[in-house]
């Protein structure tokens, strides 16, 4: 069996592995590159293989850096099925149509080229084939099994065994141990080779209690100052986790009647998908739900779907809380709010997710005092606060522990899906702590298993 990463090797985004045996050519994920302008351009390049030659795509989860180039793969000739879990199927439908809409707007405004059309999305959605997590299925000479990865709703790590041959496991993205809504990730089975994500391969998150404290402090301090709290959120998982935590905060600590806005039609639609799959929730969240708590709903919360409703947020009284996308602040409604509030010392921007190089979010996270938002320069006077523990990704300790607790230690570990220093740090740690040989593959490096 041969494996070649075509993205997310020594970088975080663009996840795409080609797995080849004598009888099969399959892809594990096919995501877009995110970040600066350079990353955008990379999405128009050749895949590095011929889409006609690919028999199937195995999709670990819906995030766009894992799924976002699938409609383009289809546009360029891929004819096969895309296997994923049921929630991933629902979420991909929302994310792909949303991405296409954004591309269409950019095309109309700046004549920017589109990666794919609405028709390509339509075909892609039809090709999504849902598989049960836990039950394995055969595809040509491969036995494939999905396991819960605890990262976002429907996320999976995938075990693939060649007939009479070796087993390789792709972690996809692995969830934080303290995810408030989802079930914890499953235990890793015996595998000859493990390809593991390393987004936070060099970092350890704050504890759950600290995360809670930082969130509470950011909310109460900003409210007491009479300011505006901006929370740029990724539409999937982080937005729902925030609603869940704010719901608890509103009920336990009675945040004085402050308006909170969920200013993202996509996040609102994704929240509807969450409501559909309570069987994926943790015991705690499930109990709360069956006890009558609505989880994602509380007094003071307003969901703004239309542009008009979004613009009216400006007129509402201070203090207020606004949750809006995009999570890395390089697009979406959050930019309009940033222009308005970033220059005000009473306001706070709360960063709750990974910020890739080249994004506005990364510039704010690294403390830049003057940034360009849309076409305007803004002096940053608002407080910039970040909570790593809210990340949907496991940190270094959790990644190492996940391997430590495996039914049998993997034969070899390849660290991918991380900036080079993060992947290298995780590789070293695994070697030192678990005595497993490790590598940090280069993009397009073919590995024989
Ligand atoms: Zn992800």
Burial of 318 (0-12, 13-18, 19+ CB in 10 A): middle
Residue 5: strand pairing partners: 17
Q: 413: closest CA among 155, 73, 168, 97?
A: 168
**Distance in Å, CA 221 to ligand 1 centroid:** 31
**Distance in Å, CA 219 to ligand 1 centroid:** 26
- Structure tokens that stand for 1 in this block: 């069996």
**Distance in Å, CA 237 to ligand 1 centroid:** 10
**Distance in Å, CA 63 to ligand 1 centroid:** 5
Give the torsion sign (CA, 154, 159, 162, 163): negative
Give the torsion sign (CA, 191, 406, 387, 237): positive
- Structure tokens that stand for 15 in this block: 């996840």
**Distance in Å, CA 373 to ligand 1 centroid:** 26
CA distance 188 to 185: 9
CA distance 355 to 327: 8
Preceding peptide of 319 cis, ω within 30°: yes
Q: Could you write out the three-class secondary structure of 58-108?
A: ECCCCCHHHHCCHHHHHHCCCCCCEEECHHHHHHHHHHHHHHHHHHHHHHH
**Distance in Å, CA 60 to ligand 1 centroid:** 9
How many CB atoms within 10 Å of residue 102? 15
**Distance in Å, CA 189 to ligand 1 centroid:** 21
For residue 52, CA distances in Å to 28, 55, 84, 434 come to: 16, 8, 20, 41
**Distance in Å, CA 4 to ligand 1 centroid:** 20
**Distance in Å, CA 58 to ligand 1 centroid:** 15
**Residue 372's pLDDT is what?**
95
**Distance in Å, CA 225 to ligand 1 centroid:** 35
Tell me the pLDDT of the chain (449 aa) as tens digits.
999 999 999 999 999 999 999 999 999 999 999 876 667 889 999 999 999 999 999 999 999 999 999 999 999 999 999 999 999 999 999 999 999 998 998 899 889 899 999 999 999 999 999 998 778 999 999 999 999 999 999 999 999 999 999 999 999 999 988 778 999 999 999 999 999 999 999 988 877 777 778 888 999 999 999 999 999 988 888 889 888 888 888 777 666 678 899 999 999 999 999 999 999 999 989 998 888 888 888 888 899 999 999 999 999 999 999 999 888 998 889 999 999 999 999 999 999 888 888 899 999 999 999 999 998 999 999 999 998 766 778 999 999 999 999 999 999 999 999 999 999 999 999 999 999 999 999 999 999 99
**Distance in Å, CA 66 to ligand 1 centroid:** 7
**Distance in Å, CA 131 to ligand 1 centroid:** 19
CA distance 200 to 184: 18
Q: Which long-range contacts (CB under 8 A, 24 or more apart) does 406-410 make?
A: 406/187, 406/188, 406/189, 406/190, 406/191, 407/187, 407/188, 407/189, 407/190, 408/189, 408/190, 409/434, 409/436, 410/169, 410/188, 410/190, 410/191, 410/192, 410/193, 410/194, 410/436
**Distance in Å, CA 374 to ligand 1 centroid:** 26
**Distance in Å, CA 173 to ligand 1 centroid:** 5
CA distance 77 to 52: 5
Q: 196: closest CA among 444, 42, 412?
A: 412
**Distance in Å, CA 257 to ligand 1 centroid:** 34
**Residue 253's pLDDT is what?**
65
**Distance in Å, CA 179 to ligand 1 centroid:** 14
List of domains in the chain? 2-203+392-448 (3.60.15.10), 208-390 (3.40.50.10890)
**Distance in Å, CA 359 to ligand 1 centroid:** 17
**Distance in Å, CA 318 to ligand 1 centroid:** 34
How many CB atoms within 10 Å of residue 79? 11
**Residue 256's pLDDT is what?**
61
Whole-model pTM?
0.89
**Distance in Å, CA 138 to ligand 1 centroid:** 25
- Structure tokens that stand for 252 in this block: 């336990």
**Distance in Å, CA 270 to ligand 1 centroid:** 15
CA 385 vs. chain centroid, Å, equals 20
**Residue 36's pLDDT is what?**
67
**Distance in Å, CA 171 to ligand 1 centroid:** 11
User: Which residue is listed with tokens 């391969």?
Assistant: 201
**Distance in Å, CA 439 to ligand 1 centroid:** 22
CA distance 449 to 444: 15
**Distance in Å, CA 392 to ligand 1 centroid:** 7
**Residue 134's pLDDT is what?**
77
Residues whose beta carbons lie less than 5 angstroms from ion ligand 1: 63, 173
**Distance in Å, CA 381 to ligand 1 centroid:** 31
**Distance in Å, CA 357 to ligand 1 centroid:** 17
- Decide if 391 contacts 211 (C-beta within 8 A): no
**Distance in Å, CA 236 to ligand 1 centroid:** 9
- Structure tokens that stand for 390 in this block: 């809210």
**Distance in Å, CA 224 to ligand 1 centroid:** 35
**Residue 42's pLDDT is what?**
93
């Amino acid at each position: 069996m041969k494996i070649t990463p075509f993205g997310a090797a020594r970088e975080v985004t663009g996840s795409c592995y080609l797995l080849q045996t004598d009888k099969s050519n399959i892809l594990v994920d096919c995501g877009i590159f995110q970040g600066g302008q350079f990353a955008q351009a990379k999405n128009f390049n050749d895949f590095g293989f011929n889409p006609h030659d690919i028999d199937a795509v195995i999709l670990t989860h819906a995030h766009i850096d894992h799924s976002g180039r699938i409609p383009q793969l289809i546009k360029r000739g891929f004819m096969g099925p895309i296997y994923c879990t049921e929630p991933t199927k629902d979420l991909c439908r929302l994310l792909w149509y949303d991405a296409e809409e954004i591309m269409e707007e950019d095309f109309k405004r700046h004549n920017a080229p589109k990666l794919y059309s609405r028709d390509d999305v339509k075909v892609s959605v039809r090709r999504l084939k849902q598989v049960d997590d836990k039950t394995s299925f055969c595809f040509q000479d491969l036995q494939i099994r999905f396991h819960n990865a605890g990262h976002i709703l429907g996320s999976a790590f995938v075990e693939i065994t060649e007939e009479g041959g070796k087993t390789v496991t792709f972690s996809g993205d692995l969830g934080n141990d303290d995810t408030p809504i989802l079930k914890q990730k499953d235990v890793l089975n015996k595998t000859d080779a493990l390809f593991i994500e390393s987004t936070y391969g060099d970092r350890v998150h704050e504890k759950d209690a600290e995360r809670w404290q930082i969130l509470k402090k950011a909310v109460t301090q900003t409210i007491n100052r009479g300011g505006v709290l901006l929370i740029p959120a990724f539409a999937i998982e982080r937005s729902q986790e925030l609603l869940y935590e704010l719901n608890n905060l509103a009920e336990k600590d009675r945040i004085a009647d402050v308006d909170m806005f969920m200013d993202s039609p996509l996040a609102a639609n994704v929240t509807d998908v969450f409501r559909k799959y309570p069987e994926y929730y943790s015991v705690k969240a499930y109990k709360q739900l069956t006890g009558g708590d609505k989880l994602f709903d509380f007094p003071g919360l307003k969901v703004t779907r239309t542009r008009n409703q979004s613009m009216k947020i400006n007129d509402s009284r201070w203090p207020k809380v606004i949750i809006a996308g995009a999570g890395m602040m390089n697009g979406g409604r959050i930019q309009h709010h940033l222009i308005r509030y970033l220059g005000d010392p009473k306001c706070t921007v709360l960063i709750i997710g990974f910020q890739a190089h080249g994004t506005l979010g990364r510039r704010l996270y690294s403390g830049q005092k003057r940034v360009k938002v849309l076409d305007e320069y803004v002096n940053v006077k608002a407080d910039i606060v970040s909570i790593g523990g809210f990340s949907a990704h496991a940190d270094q300790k959790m990644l190492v522990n996940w391997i430590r607790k495996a039914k049998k230690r993997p034969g070899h570990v390849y660290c991918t899906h991380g900036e080079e220093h993060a992947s290298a740090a995780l590789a070293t740690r695994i070697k030192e702590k678990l005595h497993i040989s490790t590598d940090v593959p280069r993009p397009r490096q073919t590995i024989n298993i």
